[in-house]
A and B are shown apart, each in its own frame.
Chain A
């Protein structure tokens, strides 16, 4: 029984007058207090129940949360919140909250700890970290999960001097992010959004309900009210797909093929926007055609390095001079006599090939050819027959005045159904190609950049952490994540081997812009490419639902060197707010606060909350004081930085630079002069936006404004941002881009070709032989489709079904299964199977089956449904919990009937010749969760109805006992009986 309930039990009914009681008894009228006082105080902050970052108002009464609601002035959610956000109270009152720093006693993984004081915790961390920094900083691997402080954590890693840093992006959506950044200088979700107000046609690919959920819901509602058509391409008809005008139940991993068939149809029908392509993309740029040469496939450039286009007279002309007349099809000879053709010609020639015709792809996609034709026609209809013009004059980069903003009102959006495949990078490129051909990037009704994007495609910073940049006691010269422009930017050793523990930015995953967190534990335990000393993780449930091959990952975390008896990963430090499955695998646990107990910033340096209407950022402020001995992780990290003497965290005198913790850092840290974590209210007077000196009053100003800042772009800057002079000047002034120069959209991505040339043996940095064919194949500068790797390698008759997962709308973090309200909505998961497919397997409507993959076998409950692709089974992800974790009853349905598909998924591809390639996108290293293929067999009638595998519960922590009953809010209620 928590203290709160004890209080409730002790509370006495309010005294009521005798005649009121008599009247109540005889009359069907009670006294209803229709105007109760709601709160003593209302505090604004930012939600963290998912990645949306909605503004919330927290009503506090008697020192506890009475009610959390959306902030109606907030640009992200405009007053609404979701099922998760409205359950924040139960997150705050979870018995699974960690309460005190912990030091492991006994074997790692057994879950036995002793509670320690913070002094000891910090001293222990320093004892492990200081020698690493003094000897070989890369022996620290620092990886964080779905946290929102990556501009701090990345900076800290750089100051420490380790290249081994990343967050969860490598197993989330890095291939989509990278595809967008190299193609458009923006991307789906984080850096772009549909023009919800104006679009006539929305094509959505592989979008579950867990990212950007409130903005999408608000937008879809707007679309349906306006009668715009919404098509959802998704193997599963749930959530958003349920309200789509049309659901395309595609076979997983074939979205790229569908997109390129649409491209084929649009090219064949000449329903493309040639003017847009010529003016805003690199379609006119000339590509050198010299097979075997070191510059084959690169752009032809003039002496100054500017790209060339095909002039009206068939001669090369500069591609950067406004108003030049150019051709998109034709051939020319360069000064040196070699052939060159425009990018568009390569595009047209490739996708007009009958291999991309609807009939050729229909069977693979599981979408009839007639449907593909109709979708292409509908896209063309919306783009070219329903063109919209906003009466807003604007000026382009060349100074040309346009009286209106003309738009092709076709919008697209995509998420993990694209990214969680090994072909996701090229698939996402295919979607962007489709958008560009229709002329729908940042136009009215199209897909729009969220400010501060667009950035140059790709943006400038390259990853830091080359071997010569990693030295004892020395910071890296930059952040260890970035965008390589070619092989010379890779982080590799002299022999071509990886320099990072996760092998990011090596030939294994050259454009691993977010790192490969999913391979860190395996590589560290195997000493491949080298052993590490300390694994430091934050908010990442890597011993359970965030790991592929979970059971083996648990073994790797506890693996010992037989020669010495020492753990192969000598130290594991873990910070989390809750008793997740990963806590038991830590040697030192740093307990974090909840999201309602700390300062935080949603920074323009990281993943801001800007929209197409303008840049925005936000903060969290503590609305409650922790009732246990925990500290905000960011405060602890800053303190560790100061104690380690990291230059960015100490003053010239060696004193802590941010003695006020994260709040101090948020206000006073400057990444570049005048540019810090928050863009609002900068300058001594608080009157500067974007750039300006630190303002000691900045947080107070944020709090006074509901904990967010937004800058509304004037109407003439809200579209064509990549080529809009006024916008580009604003972006440069605010520090979003270095120079106010146009950003040319990249149909053809030249950096990919540079990697391909290296694979052909050109240049100083070439891949080792085993990578050459792979790089030459997958670094195609034009998008193409290939079969996902697992599907291509396994026996498809032995594993005939695709298996995918998604998070349910009421849940996001793995914490949500210990939320007392949310777990009542979904306490365990079933495997959903197409009814016809299931019937053929002899399954009842609800049943139990064994699911096998090349990697393992699990026993799970099932249910049949119609709204799923017949070749696909799916389930809700991360519902299954390890018995005993999260302070749930070991008999909880999450442990007994819930399950993870993760056990079936290998970090490595099924071996064909033992090549040991990762189960990942070959360009970006993105984890290929949804490439999984399985076989299903009905469980025998005598088998118990529990999931397999099961794991013994960890020892457990000191915690308040699980309450038998929760009566939350009762103190705020009027007098009750009892």
Chain B
């Protein structure tokens, strides 16, 4: 079995913060991920029977859409999901060959395709379903946090971000060091009370989700008061008379 890097103070924890308040479910993050990573560090992301009856492929990022709640609280949720780069990553500890590993320097969980034997134990161990088996190559694959972008000297600094973050049209995805309490992502999590996905399982995911902002359905300020004046009993003719003597300027 494979060890996690020993914990240390000031550990860098690169990850994503995903804002469920504004995700509209457009799948840009999913296809941009596929596009970048198919030619990237863990590529290809193969597609099987791509024009056939049972097309399926490897995706590092998938969007789930569902409804929740009742009455005024009911809403449709678009929920993008990829590897959460857990601090207690069971997919790593379960790996018999050391192929699945968590980088000490930034916390990114990767799979070393050279020594992966395709046993799929990691996909059984991952409670989030974030692992994707490449049946063509016979190895497990997963989100790399675009490790070949975020440190890439060939890219402009502003572009050294995961593809899913750069592409997101609503700006619902943020990348940074969640180990640094002063980082933008950590502050976003603090401000918006970002949450772990299924924290009760204890895997301590690095990625966080920002919940929808509270009070979404609250009536507009002062609306109720204005509404009260909206329908004084009056006939259409009486109401017209209010404007008879109003002089206006062209």
Contacts and interface: CB of A to CB of B under 8 A. Distances in A.
Interface of A: 8, 21, 24-30, 32-38, 61, 66-70, 72, 77, 79-87, 89, 95, 201, 209, 213-214, 217-218, 220-221, 224-225, 229, 237-243, 245-246, 265, 267-271, 274-275, 277-279, 284, 309, 312, 319-330, 344-345, 348-349, 352-354, 357, 373-374, 376-378, 380-382, 385, 809-810, 818, 820-825, 827, 865-867, 887-889, 891-893, 896, 962-974, 976-978
B24 interface: yes
Interface string B133-174: 000111100000001101111110010000100111111100
Contacts of B35: 67-68, 86-87, 89
Nearest to A265: B230
Contact of B226 (A72, A328, A381, A978): A381
Contact of B234 (A268, A373, A889): A268
Interface in B220-237: 220-227, 229-232, 234, 236
B171 A810 contact: no
B169 A36 contact: no
Question: What 8 pairs across the A-B complex have the smallest Cβ distances?
Answer: A969-B39, A83-B27, A28-B101, A278-B248, A352-B236, A377-B227, A217-B169, A972-B39
Most chain A beta carbons < 10 A, residue from B50, B59, B216: B50
Contacts of B46: 965-967
Contacts of B36: 67
Nearest to B55: A824
Interface in B43-78: 43-44, 46-53, 55-57, 59, 63, 65, 67, 70, 74-78
9 contacts: A36-B40, A81-B28, A268-B234, A277-B248, A279-B250, A378-B226, A382-B220, A823-B55, A824-B57
Contacts of B22: 220-221, 224-225, 243
A72 B158 contact: yes
A267 B75 CA distance: 33
A279 B231 CA distance: 27
Nearest to A66: B39
A274 B243 contact: yes
Given A809-B26, A809-B27, A82 B76 contact: no
A487 to B, nearest CB: 31
B47 A67 contact: no
Given A28-B98, A66-B39, A242-B77, A821 B57 contact: yes
B136 A965 contact: yes
Nearest to A865: B67
Interface stretch (B7-15, B110-118, B176-184, B198-206): B110-118
Given A79-B166, A237-B76, A345-B240, A34 B248 contact: no
Contacts of A87: 31, 34-35
Residue from A77, A224, A225 having most chain B Cβ neighbours under 10 A? A224
B24 A322 contact: no
Given A79-B166, A284-B250, A327-B244, A962 B2 contact: no
A970 B31 contact: no
Contact of A275 (B25, B41, B248): B248
Interface in B94-124: 98-101, 103, 110, 112-115
Given A66-B39, A973-B43, 10 more contacts: A24-B114, A28-B2, A28-B112, A218-B171, A330-B244, A373-B230, A374-B227, A962-B50, A966-B57, A969-B38
B51 A36 contact: no
B81 to A, nearest CB: 14
Contacts of A827: 55
Given A86-B35, A217-B26, A970-B43, A322 B114 contact: no
A818 B51 CA distance: 7
Contacts of A822: 31
Given A284-B250, A965-B46, A213 B169 contact: yes
A950 to B, nearest CB: 15
A275 to B, nearest CB: 6
A964 B28 contact: no
Contacts of B49: 889, 964-965
B216 A33 contact: no
B189 to A, nearest CB: 16
Contact of A274 (B40, B172, B246): B246
A274 B243 CA distance: 9
B6 interface: no
Contacts of B217: 245-246
A268 B239 contact: yes
Residue among A32, A69, A353 facing the most chain B CB atoms (10 A cut-off)? A32
A821 B47 CA distance: 8
Contact of A38 (B43, B147, B155): B155
Contacts of B63: 825
A271 B243 CA distance: 12
A209 B51 contact: no
B84 to A, nearest CB: 19
Given A38-B155, A87-B31, A240-B24, A30 B248 contact: no
A70 B101 contact: no
Contacts of B139: 977
A95 B50 CA distance: 10
B194 to A, nearest CB: 16
A820 B100 CA distance: 29
Nearest to B158: A72
Contact of B247 (A25, A326, A825, A972): A326
Contacts of B28: 80-83, 85-86
B175 to A, nearest CB: 15
A820 B38 contact: no
A239 B148 contact: no
A82 B103 CA distance: 31
A348 B240 contact: yes
Nearest to B30: A83
A779 to B, nearest CB: 24
Given A34-B151, A381-B222, A969-B40, A209 B24 contact: yes
Contact of B51 (A37, A380, A889): A889
A278 B249 CA distance: 7
Contacts of A80: 28, 166-169
A242 B78 contact: yes
B240 A214 contact: no
Contacts of B229: 269
Contact of A309 (B2, B103, B250): B250
A95 B115 CA distance: 35
Contacts of A33: 41, 148
A279 B247 CA distance: 12
B187 interface: no
A35 B146 CA distance: 11
B213 interface: yes
Contact of A973 (B25, B39, B51, B112): B39
B125 interface: no
Given A29-B101, A81-B32, A218-B169, A35 B154 contact: yes
Nearest to B216: A245
A332 to B, nearest CB: 13
A14 B46 CA distance: 20
Given A349-B240, A966-B47, A28 B25 contact: no
